[in-house]
């Protein structure tokens, strides 16, 4: 049986309270279970998973991850949102925190890139629905994201194409 999707991710963090606050207040996760000051299990707002994100405390002595600098490791996790309005809201929340590090138009994907309080990178994206993919949006590209222009093109309430691949051929 082939793998269907990612069910959850687990991150080691230096300060559990700080990271839990970030993921709940900025990205809208909700706490579903905690283990004292050691771990928190969070669920995305629209999820039916038991949890989507596990956070395990390492303590203040934890060193930043060298992944991508001096060692192999995970580059980032990517979460999808339903609408461009939600992507805009999250962009604002990330900007307020100084966490937003980039915003890209990848053709079929409109993406924000940010770092959590420990510097772990993640992506929040909206996927163009299959019925709106055109030859000019079907090629994988990386350009600066103009969120206002994308909202003008698609509307801020158009439901994203959950799971639509970058490699759509028309």
User: Which of 3.50.50.60, 3.10.180.10, 3.40.640.10, 3.40.50.1980 would CATH assign to domain 74-160?
Assistant: 3.10.180.10
Strands of 96-140, DSSP E: 100-105, 109-115, 121-127
Q: What CATH fold (topology level) applies to the domain 7-60?
A: 2,3-Dihydroxybiphenyl 1,2-Dioxygenase; domain 1 (3.10.180)
Rounded to the nearest 10°, the torsion over CA 32, 78, 166, 147 is 100
Q: Where are the domains of the chain?
A: 7-60, 74-160
The DSSP-derived string for 8-36 is -EEEEES-HHHHHHHHHHTT--EEEEEET
Residues 128-168: pLDDT tens digits? 998 898 887 778 889 999 999 999 999 999 999 866 654 44
Residues 24-47: pLDDT tens digits? 999 999 999 999 999 999 999 989
């Amino acid at each position: 049986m082939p793998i269907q999707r990612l069910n959850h991710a687990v991150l080691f963090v230096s300060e559990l309270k700080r990271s839990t606050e970030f993921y709940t207040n900025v990205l809208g996760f909700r706490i579903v279970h905690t283990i004292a000051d050691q771990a928190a299990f969070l669920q995305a707002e629209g999820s039916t998973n038991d949890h989507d994100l596990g956070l395990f405390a390492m303590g203040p002595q934890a060193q930043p991850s060298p992944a991508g600098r001096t060692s192999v490791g995970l580059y980032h996790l990517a979460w999808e949102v339903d609408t461009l309005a939600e992507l805009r809201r999250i962009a604002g929340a990330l900007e307020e925190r100084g966490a937003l590090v980039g915003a890209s138009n990848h053709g079929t994907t409109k993406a924000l890139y940010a770092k959590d309080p420990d510097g772990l990178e993640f992506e929040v994206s909206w996927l163009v629905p299959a019925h709106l993919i055109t030859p000019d949006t079907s090629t994988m590209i990386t350009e600066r994201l103009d969120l206002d222009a994308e909202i003008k093109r698609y509307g801020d309430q158009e439901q994203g194409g959950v799971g639509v691949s970058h490699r759509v051929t028309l």
